[in-house]
Amino acid sequence: MPILSALSITAAALAAAPMAAPDTLEQRIAACLSCHSVKERSDAYFPRIAGKPAGYLYNQLRNFQNGHRHYPMMTYMVGHLPDAYLREIADYFAAQHPPYPPAVAGSGANASAAQLARGEALVRQGDAGKKIPACVACHGTALTGVEPSIPGLLGLPSDYINAQFGNWKSKTRRAAAPDCMGEIAARLSEADVAALSAWLSKQTPDTAARPAASIPQPLPLACGSFPASPAAAQGGAQ
Ligand code: HEC
Ligand code: HEC
pLDDT at 15: 46
Find out whether the beta carbon of 164 lies less than 6 Å from any atom of ligand 2: yes
Find out whether the beta carbon of 185 lies less than 6 Å from any atom of ligand 2: no
To test ligand 1's pocket by mutation, which of 29, 33, 34, 35 has the most ligand atoms within 8 angstroms of CB? 35
User: For residue 227, is it within any domain?
Assistant: no
Do the annotations mark residue 74 as ligand-binding? yes
Separation between Cα atoms, residue 191 and residue 212, nearest integer Å: 30
Structural domain harbouring 79: 2-201
Write the CA distances from 58 to 40, 174, 182, 197, integer angstroms. Answer: 20, 14, 19, 24
User: For residue 214, is it within any domain?
Assistant: no
The DSSP bridge partners found for residue 88 are none
pLDDT at 5: 44
Do the annotations mark residue 32 as ligand-binding? yes
Find out whether the beta carbon of 32 lies less than 6 Å from any atom of ligand 1: yes
Decide if 146 contacts 225 (C-beta within 8 A). Answer: no
Protein residue with least CA distance to atom 12, ligand 1: 46
pLDDT at 101: 78
User: For residue 104, is it within any domain?
Assistant: yes
Coarse DSSP helix, strand, coil percentages of the chain, rounded to the nearest 5 percent: 50, 0, 45
CA-CA-CA-CA torsion sign (45, 139, 219, 149):
positive
What is the Cβ-side half-sphere exposure of residue 80, based on CA atoms within 13 angstroms? 2
Angle subtended at Cα 216 by Cα 214 and Cα 218, rounded to the nearest 5 degrees: 120
Domains of the chain: total: 1
- How far does residue 48's CA lie from ligand 1's centre (Å)? 9
pLDDT at 94: 96
Q: Which ligand is nearest to the CA of 32?
A: 1
Decide if 57 contacts 51 (C-beta within 8 A). Answer: no
**Ligand 1 atom nearest to 78, measured from its CA:** 38
Residue 162 belongs to a domain with what CATH number? 1.10.760.10
User: For residue 228, is it within any domain?
Assistant: no
Do the annotations mark residue 180 as ligand-binding? no
pLDDT at 237: 41
Residue stretches of the chain with pLDDT short of 50:
1-21, 40-41, 230-238
Separation between Cα atoms, residue 198 and residue 158, nearest integer Å: 6
**What are 181-206's pLDDT values in tens digits?**
999 999 999 999 999 999 999 999 99
Angle subtended at Cα 136 by Cα 133 and Cα 141, rounded to the nearest 5 degrees: 155
**Residue 71, C-beta contacts closer than 8 angstroms, at least 6 positions apart:** 64
User: For residue 232, is it within any domain?
Assistant: no
User: For residue 100, is it within any domain?
Assistant: yes
Q: Is 116 exposed, middle or buried, given 0-12, 13-18 or 19+ CB atoms closer than 10 A?
A: middle
pLDDT at 30: 86
To test ligand 2's pocket by mutation, which of 120, 136, 138 has the most ligand atoms within 8 angstroms of CB? 138
Do the annotations mark residue 35 as ligand-binding? yes
Do the annotations mark residue 139 as ligand-binding? yes
pLDDT at 106: 81
Q: Which ligand is nearest to the CA of 149?
A: 2
Do the annotations mark residue 19 as ligand-binding? no
User: For residue 132, is it within any domain?
Assistant: yes
Q: What is the DSSP letter of 225?
A: T
Protein residue with least CA distance to atom 39, ligand 2: 135
User: For residue 238, is it within any domain?
Assistant: no
